[in-house]
Structure 1
Amino acid sequence: MGFRGIGATLRVARRAVLGGVAAAALIGAMPALAQTAGKVKVAGVYTVPIEQQWVSRIHTALKAAEARGEIEYVWAESVANTDYERVMRQYAEAGQQLVFGEVFGVERAARGVAKDYPKTAFVMGSSFKPQEPNFSVFDNYIQEPAYLTGMIAGAMTKSNTIGLVGGYPIPEVNRLMNAFIEGAKEVNPKVKVSVSFIGSWFDPPKAKEAAFAMIDRGADVLYAERFGVSDAAKERKVLAIGNVIDTQPQYPDTVVASALWHMEPSVDRAIAAVKAGTYKAEDYGPYSKMEHKGSSLAPLGTFESKIPAETVAKVKAREAEIRAGTFTVKVDDGEPKSTM
């Protein structure tokens, strides 16, 4: 079950789970999960609906593993921060061997749960480091394709003004925005940017209003880090750049390009480690880079012939350099600022 459209019905679910807890084995001083026979029992704990673009990538990767017969997968979506710890504990008590989720607003509580359940593997979106022995972290480390989409945006703007609407100014968002801005400046040094954060991971109306304000100030290309931005762009007949998922099918005349996140390399790695009994706390962030096929530039599709050929050639050359390791996109976690 992947992205099902912005207008899809949002479900708030609590899925009951069954299963036993895997016994722990010791490797030196580091506890590890025992080797697993049969399917790995996996749970997802999400603070937003699974339709939300960021969470949808985790959910899609886990559903693919489920379809291959590798895991039994259950999940809870739209879990309030105040309820997150309880749901994590519920899944650990029920015997889930591997738990995915995002803990940006509940770091301390989530890490406390991991300490209480050392036989359960946790892989959580986080701004901080792994916690031994069983709390791994990840984020959408997709600054490389974000840079490429910035190059396209810089070439497509006629007003030399680009708007960027984000959720919160945390490292995971900042690094994508900064990479996008640098890519735009590479092809168009005259570009100025307007940056806004809406203080929510899922509030399309608020994101839409922020985008309208930017358009009113002259922005003719918008970086849609949040849902709602592309709707504003479509209504005002300006362009948008997608983030994490490809929304061009929903906005064929609006979304020029998208930086895609593929969670499969990270998800598959964690599942294999739990199954083999070799799971340990680590940073899965790098597995979202292009070299690991954890991110990519979406096909240009309806804009293939609308983007200047010179720009397309530059983007393809940069992409090849990134994949070859001869060009490195700078990782800048600092909060991006407006230059208008």
Structure 2
Amino acid sequence: MTRQAISRRTAAAVLAATALAPGLALAQAKIKVAAVYTVPFEQQWVSRIHKALKAAEARGEIEYKASENVANADYERVMREYATGGVQLVVGESFAVEAAARKVAKDFPKVSFLMGSSGKPQAPNFSVFDNYIQEPAYLTGMIAGGVTKTNKIGMVGGFPIPEVNRLMHAFMAGAKEVNPKVEFTVTFINSWFDPPKAKEAAFAMVDKGADVLYAERFGVSDAAKEKGKLAIGNVINTQDKYPDTVVASALWNMEPTIDLALKNVKDGKFKAEDYGPYSTMKHKGSELAPLGTFEKKVPTEVMAKVLAKQKDILAGKFLVKVDDSQPKSTAK
């Protein structure tokens, strides 16, 4: 057989194999992903998305580009630049730019969009997710109710939107279950990233008698540390930075959401759907962070109740109520 004949036969074999497995080349190619964030990478909420995408990048599954600190007025433009640049999946948080983000998705039906949103999915390609971590938030509330000495808890949030409200309500309900006498002071700083403002709000709560602070925003734990008070973390675990301050945290794990979205894109099955449930404890999308230095400081009877409640949540015997309404202060 001549060399040319061998080459032709080899080429034919390759073509036949490709025909038999058309998805092989696609499966081996890295998915191109872009993320658009309105805040810095280190901000609690965004850091969890960024972490999950960086993990996929480290595994060699994706090519990842991201823009941080994008102003609301520039959000649509940046989304369009990524969409026209050949990315297959755009990830971001569209809470303040909902209409613009959905418009971009409509203009690029072949690009997949996975966006943090209070709204519903938009066919064919706009999926939504949310930090449904109200279950561990309830558990941290139980711990807070069990460690407060003054029965006064201060709560500092960013904006009173559903994503924040539901966590605060769950936290308050958990604290009330353990300690019916507890009272709450609730303040929103109307910013997603303003640690000095959050810190000042927390100081005001301490001045009114709060000895436990719910740190929905950065800056609150700093105030607690300076005043010798306790703090409850949210979304991330900062106990390594505040070993004598942060008692417990409701931890958000975005890996289940991101990994499923990537699989769907890879398999050509991405469609408009709600990925929110993948942030629940059942899917390992959230958890009560290890207590670390406070493991033996929280009263034994309180932790027994917390662990029993956690078991009931995982077994589906207890459902944490989702209340998206704006929480109000109860302290007199």
TM over 0.5: yes
Query: For residue 238 of structure 1, what is the aligned residue in structure 2?
Result: 229
Counterpart mapping for 1:1-340 below 5 A: 37-340=28-331
Q: Distance in 1 between matches of 2:202 and 2:176?
A: 21
SS in 2 for 1:43: strand
Q: Distance in 1 between matches of 2:90 and 2:27?
A: 15
Which residue identity does 1:291 align to in structure 2?
K
Please state how far the C-alpha of 1:36 moved relative to its aligned partner.
5.4
SS in 2 for 1:246: coil
User: Cα deviations across residues 119-139 of structure 1 (Å, max 9, x unaligned)?
Assistant: 110000111101000001111
Q: Is the 8 A contact 1:147 1:180 kept in 2?
A: yes
Please, what TM-score do these two structures have when normalized by structure 2?
0.92
- C-alpha RMSD over aligned residues: 0.9
Please state how far the C-alpha of 1:115 moved relative to its aligned partner.
0.3
Q: Distance in 1 between matches of 2:135 and 2:235?
A: 12
Q: Distance in 2 between matches of 1:35 and 1:70?
A: 12
Q: Distance in 2 between matches of 1:292 and 1:143?
A: 14
Q: Is the 8 A contact 1:122 1:135 kept in 2?
A: yes
Q: Distance in 1 between matches of 2:133 and 2:96?
A: 21
Larger Rg: 2
Pair 115,35 (structure 1): closer, same or farther in 2 beyond 3 Å? farther
Please state how far the C-alpha of 1:37 moved relative to its aligned partner.
4.6
Query: For residue 18 of structure 1, what is the aligned residue in structure 2?
Result: none
SS in 2 for 1:41: strand
Please state how far the C-alpha of 1:256 moved relative to its aligned partner.
0.1
Please state how far the C-alpha of 1:35 moved relative to its aligned partner.
6.0
Q: Is the 8 A contact 1:36 1:274 kept in 2?
A: no
SS in 2 for 1:242: strand
Q: Distance in 1 between matches of 2:102 and 2:313?
A: 35
Which residue identity does 1:132 align to in structure 2?
A
- Any gaps of 5 or more consecutive residues in structure 1? 1-33
Q: Distance in 1 between matches of 2:187 and 2:91?
A: 29
Q: Distance in 2 between matches of 1:278 and 1:303?
A: 45
Q: Is the 8 A contact 1:92 1:120 kept in 2?
A: yes
SS in 2 for 1:282: coil
SS in 2 for 1:66: helix
Structure richer in helix, relative to its length: 2
Q: Distance in 2 between matches of 1:36 and 1:118?
A: 21
Please state how far the C-alpha of 1:189 moved relative to its aligned partner.
0.1
User: Cα deviations across residues 219-249 of structure 1 (Å, max 9, x unaligned)?
Assistant: 1000000000000000000000000000000
- Any gaps of 5 or more consecutive residues in structure 2? 1-24
Please state how far the C-alpha of 1:275 moved relative to its aligned partner.
0.4
Which residue identity does 2:76 align to in structure 1?
E
Please, what TM-score do these two structures have when normalized by structure 1?
0.89
Q: Distance in 1 between matches of 2:157 and 2:199?
A: 11
Q: How many corresponding residue pairs?
A: 307
Q: Is the 8 A contact 1:166 1:198 kept in 2?
A: yes
Which residue identity does 1:68 align to in structure 2?
R
Q: Distance in 1 between matches of 2:45 and 2:267?
A: 28
SS in 2 for 1:146: helix
